[in-house]
Structure 1
Amino acid sequence: MRTLGFVTLYHPDAALTASNLRTYLPWVNQLVVWDNTPGANDNRRCLDALLADEAEKLIWMENGQNLGIARGLNYALHKVLDGDFDLLLMMDQDSNWPDCGSFMQAVARLHGTDATIGAFTPNVSGLEPQTTDIADKDFFITSGTVLTREAIRGIAPVDETFAIDALDNECSIAIREKGFRIVCLTRHVLNHHIGNRKYSKILHIGTPDYNAARTYGMCRNHIILIRKRKKSLPFRKKMYFIKEYIIYKLIRILLVEGDKGHRLQMLIKGIRDGLTYKIR
């Protein structure tokens, strides 16, 4: 069973990224490296040198600008459909996965016996209960998720409105609407780093401390997602998005984060643009 890997880079730490890639490179036949780092950089030279024994597997796509994840994902989806790949493994440069081998073996077994599964996801950071080996899920994060060729045929191309933020939720809904299941293999843990978490001295409020541009993207895109997928999103999920990306984000900016004026401005802009965006 042939697997294409896909990973996006953005100002990567070369040594750390190479170490992370080594944990899953043996389990893919080729890896699309979609480099969103703006301007000229040494990412390719450094990583090719650090991964010399696996460098022939890397398919480099260097843009010189940040085109987001969705554009790169569409490239990878079409490469699966145009080639002889059975599966697509999506990864993040900050994800480390020593357990990838046994996960991919489990995916191959299940894929061969159950055609209803369109996406396989690991237990991200061990947060899922391990009371059963397999758990059906409504949503996944892109890093660590494996899509089947059959599911890809149903959802490609993905909506590039969600260039980065809310892309995983959009893809999850699209897959389920095509009649496929999303399953979490709970015994297989992916180590995934989210943001640069910091805490306030008062009330110990935590935040991943995303910058103003990501503040805007998260707010705008999740509002668009709520509007676009209003029939598919359960009410509790809609409320979660509103609380997480608007209400709680406002509290975090005021009490924890820096660059308050710019981030507040971009939060307000995100609300306005999300509400006025023309749904296609």
Structure 2
Amino acid sequence: MNSEDHTPDASAARAGAAIVVVLYHPGDDDLANLSKLADWGIPVVAVINAIGNVGGRAALSAKVQVVANPRNLGLARALNQGIGAAMNAGSRYVLLLDQDSRPTLDMFDALLATAAQIEAEGRALACVAPLLRDRKAMAGTGDHAGDASFATSGTMLTRVGWERVGPMWEPLFIDGIDHEWCFRARARGLETVLVRDAVLEHDMGDEGINLLGRYRPIHRSPVRHYFIVRNTLWLAREQHISPRWRLGELAKLAYRVPSYVLASSDRSRTIGNIAAAIADGVGRTNRRQPV
């Protein structure tokens, strides 16, 4: 299917769908992308955290529904706001995007067609997701398509999933949100399906490292280091989380923690944040504002 395809069948299928984009400190290109998405003829909801830092909001309002948060409420809360707005407007399918994702209409239609087909077969579907392809890996160590089943950006939720699984777990704030929601969906008998024919170019992490011959994206932000470590410890204690995922992610902390310290934009803050993350993760407390 060509990305410019606007046949009656394709348009009818898209009529029940919407797009939700979460933004924080977006650049001009990120804001321009919202208008490009709206040109597809699909409703777009933009949830902007810390709206006071964003210019050009008036130019967006004609094409895009803007949910404005005066401060950064986190990715999970923003997703819940955007999905809720789209579902309340009657959408059956909602595509979730980060601000730096650049989907194609082909990708959107592939996800939509797969979701519609699965539901037509009478199966309970929570969401479908594309393969993510890291632009940095494509430019550096070659084409890298992640095999993780789900990532927040690019996931298309169904109305059935939203109603039966419930909202994203907001205290997670930013990391692990997609994994927790999908494991919760599976525990409630719904399917989560990876659509390999749908590919989304996306920036994973701030940069990449070559670890034992494999490309790995990594974050440099001390704040992200806090949430990744704390949330891994939180999720490892949840009964609906897969034992395989739990053990694998805990094992990964053994190399992630030193990698974060080495790659950090502020090593002393990362060390302090990781120590706080371990304390908060083990003690199940919620430090909302890591330094």
Q: Contact 1:31–1:58 (CA<8 Å) still a contact in 2?
A: yes
User: 2:22 aligned with 1:8, yes or no?
Assistant: yes
Q: Contact 2:221–2:264 (CA<8 Å) still a contact in 1?
A: no
In structure 2, relative to structure 1, the CA distance for the partners of 1:122 and 1:254 (3 Å cut) is closer
Taking the aligned partners of 2:284 and 2:260, their CA distance within structure 1 comes to 25
Offset of residue 17 of structure 1 = 4.7
Taking the aligned partners of 2:186 and 2:216, their CA distance within structure 1 comes to 32
Q: Contact 1:111–1:117 (CA<8 Å) still a contact in 2?
A: yes
Offset of residue 66 of structure 1 = 0.6
SS in 2 for 1:84: coil
**What is aligned with 2:167?**
157
Taking the aligned partners of 1:263 and 1:113, their CA distance within structure 2 comes to 49
Deviations 1:103-134 (A, max 9, x none): 233433333334322211112116267xxxxx
Q: TM-score, normalised by structure 2?
A: 0.78
State, as a whole percentage, how many aligned pairs show the same letter.
24
**What is aligned with 1:261?**
268
Deviations 1:141-192 (A, max 9, x none): 1111111111110122332111111111111112112211111111111111
2:132 to 93, 112, 124: 124
Q: Contact 1:20–1:95 (CA<8 Å) still a contact in 2?
A: no
In structure 2, relative to structure 1, the CA distance for the partners of 1:236 and 1:18 (3 Å cut) is same
**What is aligned with 1:235?**
243
Q: Contact 2:261–2:270 (CA<8 Å) still a contact in 1?
A: no
**What is aligned with 1:74?**
80
**What is aligned with 1:34?**
47
Deviations 1:181-239 (A, max 9, x none): 11111111111111220549xx9996523311111111111211111x2x333333113
**What is aligned with 2:153?**
143
User: 2:115 aligned with 1:110, yes or no?
Assistant: no
User: 2:173 aligned with 1:166, yes or no?
Assistant: no
**What is aligned with 1:86?**
92
Taking the aligned partners of 1:205 and 1:256, their CA distance within structure 2 comes to 15
RMSD: 3.0
In structure 2, relative to structure 1, the CA distance for the partners of 1:267 and 1:278 (3 Å cut) is closer
The letter for the 2-side match of 1:270 is A
Offset of residue 88 of structure 1 = 1.3
> Which deviates more from structure 2 when the two are superposed, residues 95-104 or residues 36-45?
36-45
**What is aligned with 1:134?**
none
Q: TM-score, normalised by structure 1?
A: 0.81
The letter for the 2-side match of 1:34 is V
Offset of residue 19 of structure 1 = 3.6
5+ residue gaps, structure 1, are 49-54, 130-136
Shift >6 Å, 4+ stretches = none
Offset of residue 84 of structure 1 = 1.6
